[in-house]
Amino acid sequence: MIRFEKVTKRYPGPGTPALDQVTLDIDKGEFVYLVGTSGSGKSTALRLVLRELRPTTGRVYVAGKEINRMAGWKVPRLRRQIGTVFQDFRLLPNKSVAENVAFALQVIGRSRRDINKVVPDTLELVGLKDKGDRMPDELSGGEQQRVAIARAFVNRPMILIADEPTGNLDPSTSVGIMNLLGDINQTGTTVVMATHDHGIVDQFRKRVIELEHGKVIRDEAAGSYGFRH
């Protein structure tokens, strides 16, 4: 589903590359943690998958396509197939919960009829069936993250990218979010989650890919966060 072939990414200016000859393969339906200290290259890797960045050298494939060679007009279609969730939720503050989720479908031109069916189903999936009319600031952090996940998943993307999704949440709320990401993964969606959250990685054992100075230094099935940190 995602393949990096000797991917190097240098930002302008001096210094070592943000990613250095990274090769990895993530299959359809996998759940992968991307771990490593701040500055190790996690966000750069995620942004390459979205083609927000291009590799300096090497190739990035998503669903079999080398996305660096993809025509610019096809990039929105690629991104539509990749849901994204962030530490800071990024909800639209002036839209209700249901409207936040519906908006993701409106911008891609889905019919009102579809939206009216899919939005309530997705809110139910994330456990917010009765909160569609609330505004984001009326919700807890964990509930806001559920809305963000609903919005990311409402279009049933093939990949869900989560960048520190539990970073602003307390441990018990984080467990609920992980269970939800696990449910989404069970539907066949490939999940790639960048995280610093040792407790979560050790509790929900999944494949762990560790970056250090832009290099993959560990790639382990059902790994732990690792005691060197």
Whole-number minimum distance, CB 212 to ligand ADP, in Å?
10
Whole-number minimum distance, CB 57 to ligand ADP, in Å?
16
Whole-number minimum distance, CB 165 to ligand ADP, in Å?
14
Interaction between residue 212 and ligand ADP (CB under 6 A): no
Residues 6 or more apart whose Cβ sits within 8 Å of residue 145: 85, 89, 165, 166, 168, 169, 173, 177
Interaction between residue 42 and ligand ADP (CB under 6 A): yes
- Pick one of 1, 2, 40, 169: the residue that binds ligand ADP (CB under 6 A): 40
Of the pair 98, 208, the CB lying nearest ligand ADP is at: 98
Interaction between residue 38 and ligand ADP (CB under 6 A): yes
Whole-number minimum distance, CB 175 to ligand ADP, in Å?
24
> Residue 191's closest CA among 160, 222, 150?
160
> What does the block give as tokens for 41?
């290259």
Interactions with ligand ADP, residue window 69-128 (CB under 6 A): 96, 98-99, 102, 112, 115-116, 119-120
Whole-number minimum distance, CB 19 to ligand ADP, in Å?
8
- Pick one of 27, 52, 124, 133: the residue that binds ligand ADP (CB under 6 A): 133
Helix (H, G, I), strand (E, B), or coil: what is residue 75?
Answer: helix
Whole-number minimum distance, CB 207 to ligand ADP, in Å?
17
Of the pair 39, 188, the CB lying nearest ligand ADP is at: 39
Of the pair 29, 213, the CB lying nearest ligand ADP is at: 213
CB 150 within 8 A of CB 101: yes
Cβ atoms within 10 Å of 51's Cβ, excluding its own: 18
Helix (H, G, I), strand (E, B), or coil: what is residue 171?
Answer: helix
Interaction between residue 36 and ligand ADP (CB under 6 A): yes
Binding positions for ligand ADP, rule: CB under 6 A: 11, 18, 36, 38-44, 96, 98-99, 102, 112, 115-116, 119-120, 132-133
